[in-house]
């Protein structure tokens, strides 16, 4: 097994005088149904080594994520998960919905970060000067360090990914009780074959992203 994520990048930021660093990651961007969720995990110079077994949530089994979830919640100095609904994604687009979910998570934090580590190349949390879509997205302007595969390298981002993944997946499984035909108990809203077949047969629900390229409802 490859080495797990570390706090090396976070400590390099602390050495520059930063007090609180937030790892930020999103889940649900590519799903056909359900929200997009953003996790935040805030660490400080006093934060100890990450929980044993922590990885990017995509590299962990459902069992492993559930087993480590409580430890990941208690490890940082602050954490939160925010979401934007399928209807909001349809209204403002996925990138703006990600930013909306980020601001909702940020608003929950008891300790606010001075700096953000974000996975990838595109800084989707950067504020925009105007709102053209009718949903007010708070203006949060924080310095951001972009790192490709930060969710595998930086422990704060790995923790954020686990927090967001577990919370969103549990939400989708709760909806599966109401809509069992779509297989959300296992596919959590992504485009598995059974989910696609159910859309063709039954049509979409209020939790589907109707602006996306979904299969055509063929009727019965």
129, pLDDT greater than 80: no
The answer on pLDDT for 58 being more than 90 is no
Tokens of 114: 């001075």
pTM (two decimals): 0.94
Residue 187 lies in a domain: no
pLDDT in tens, 134-184: 678 888 899 999 999 999 999 999 999 999 999 999 999 999 999 999 999
Q: Is 84 a member of any domain?
A: yes
Let me know if residue 181 belongs to a domain: no
Beta strand spans in 10-137 (E): 21-27, 36-43, 78-84, 115-119
Cα 21 from Cα 41, distance rounded (Å)? 8
Q: Has residue 207 been placed in a domain? A: no
Q: How is residue 53 annotated by DSSP? A: T
Residue range 66-78: mean pLDDT, rounded: 95
Range of the domain at 123: 8-171
State residue 136's pLDDT score.
81
What sign does the dihedral 152-110-86-94 (CA atoms) show? negative
Q: Residue 132: its pLDDT value, please?
A: 56
Residue 25: inside a domain, yes or no?
yes
Do the domain assignments include residue 36?
yes
Residue burial 143-164, b: 16+ Cβ < 10 Å; e: rest: ebbebeebbbbbbbbbbbbbbb
Distance CA 131, CA 137 (A): 7
Count of structural domains within the chain? 1
* Residue 2 pLDDT greater than 60, yes or no: no
- For residue 208, the 8-state DSSP code is B
Query: Looking at residues 38-66, what average pLDDT do you find?
Result: 91
Domain assignment present for 83: yes
Q: What pLDDT was estimated at residue 206?
A: 97
For residue 131, pLDDT over 60 is answered with: no
The CATH number covering residue 124 comes to 3.30.420.10
* pLDDT tens by residue, 87-112: 999 999 999 999 999 999 999 999 99
| Euclidean distance between CA atoms 174 and 196, whole angstroms | 19
Q: Tell me, what's the pLDDT at 1? A: 46
Whether 32 is covered by a domain: the verdict is yes
């Amino acid at each position: 097994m490859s080495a797990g994520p570390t706090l090396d990048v976070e400590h390099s930021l602390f050495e520059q005088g930063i007090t609180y660093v937030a790892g930020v990651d999103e889940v649900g961007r590519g799903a056909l149904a359900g929200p997009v969720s953003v996790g935040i995990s805030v660490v400080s110079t006093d934060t100890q080594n990450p929980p044993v077994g922590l990885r990017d949530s995509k590299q962990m089994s459902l069992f492993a994520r559930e087993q480590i979830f409580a430890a990941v919640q208690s490890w940082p100095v602050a954490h939160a998960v925010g979401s934007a609904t399928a209807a909001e994604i349809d209204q403002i687009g996925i990138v703006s919905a990600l930013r909306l979910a980020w601001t909702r998570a940020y608003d929950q934090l008891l300790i606010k970060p001075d700096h953000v580590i974000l996975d990838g190349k595109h800084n989707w949390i950067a504020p925009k000067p105007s709102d053209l879509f009718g949903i007010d997205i708070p203006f949060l302007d924080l310095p951001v360090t972009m790192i490709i595969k930060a969710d595998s390298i930086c422990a704060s981002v790995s923790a954020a990914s686990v927090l967001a993944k577990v919370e969103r997946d549990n939400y989708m499984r709760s909806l599966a009780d109401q809509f069992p035909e779509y297989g959300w108990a296992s596919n959590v809203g992504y485009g598995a074959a059974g989910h696609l077949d159910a859309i063709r047969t039954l049509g979409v629900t209020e939790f589907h992203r109707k602006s996306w390229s979904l299969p055509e409802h063929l009727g019965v």
